[in-house]
Amino acid sequence: MSSPAPQPDSSRRRFLARQLRWLLAGTLTALSLPLLRFAGFTVKPKPRYVTVSKKLLPGSVHTEHDFLLFVAGTGARAVSRHCTHLGCRVNFRKELGIIECPCHQSQFSPEGARLAGPAQKNLATFPVRVLKDDQGTTTGYEVTL
Ligand code: FES
């Protein structure tokens, strides 16, 4: 008594079904990878350059819409005006020598370090490039936001 030989037709169907499953799995993987990459993809914003086209005296503060520009004897620094608490626009209070938020009175040092208030983080700072003419005289400042 010998066992019945496998039907060639059913063997071919199993082979084709297995090939079809692999093809389907490969297609789904190929389609899902770009979608997963897109879902986790964050576009790094392009840097924005703001030019302040005037020479500021050492110790002075220049206020722009997005930053405060502090000029010292050796250079300049820019501090964001976006409060780290809820995003109100902060102001420099010259009489106190601090940056203060008008919304909930968070206070920051001129370097942007948090001093008091509900804000928990320091203000952001931005790189500043001092612009000079051919003679080396300061003509302005370029802040990279
Ligand atoms: S938004 Fe600035 S302290 Fe609340």
pLDDT values of the chain reduced to their tens digit, one per residue, 145 residues: 455 655 657 888 899 999 999 999 999 988 887 887 778 777 788 999 999 999 999 999 999 999 999 998 878 999 999 999 999 999 999 999 999 999 999 999 999 999 999 999 999 999 999 999 999 899 999 999 9
Atom number in ligand 1 closest to CA 119: 3
3-state secondary structure 46-115: CCCEEEECCCCCCCCEEECCCEEEEECCCCEEEEECECCCCCCECEEECCCCEEECCCCCCEECCCCCEE
Burial class (CB in 10 A: 0-12, 13-18, 19+), 119: buried
The residues lining ligand 1, judged by C-beta closer than 6 Å to any ligand atom, are 83, 85-86, 88, 101, 103-104, 106, 117-119
Q: Which is the closest atom of ligand 1 to the Cα of 104?
A: 3
pLDDT of residue 83: 97
Ligand 1 binding pocket mutation candidate from 86, 107, 121 (most atoms within 8 A of CB): 86
Q: Which atom of ligand 1 is nearest to the CA of 101?
A: 2
**Which amino acid appears at position 31 of this protein?**
L
**Ligand 1 midpoint to CA 100 (Å):** 9
Predicted pLDDT at 10: 82
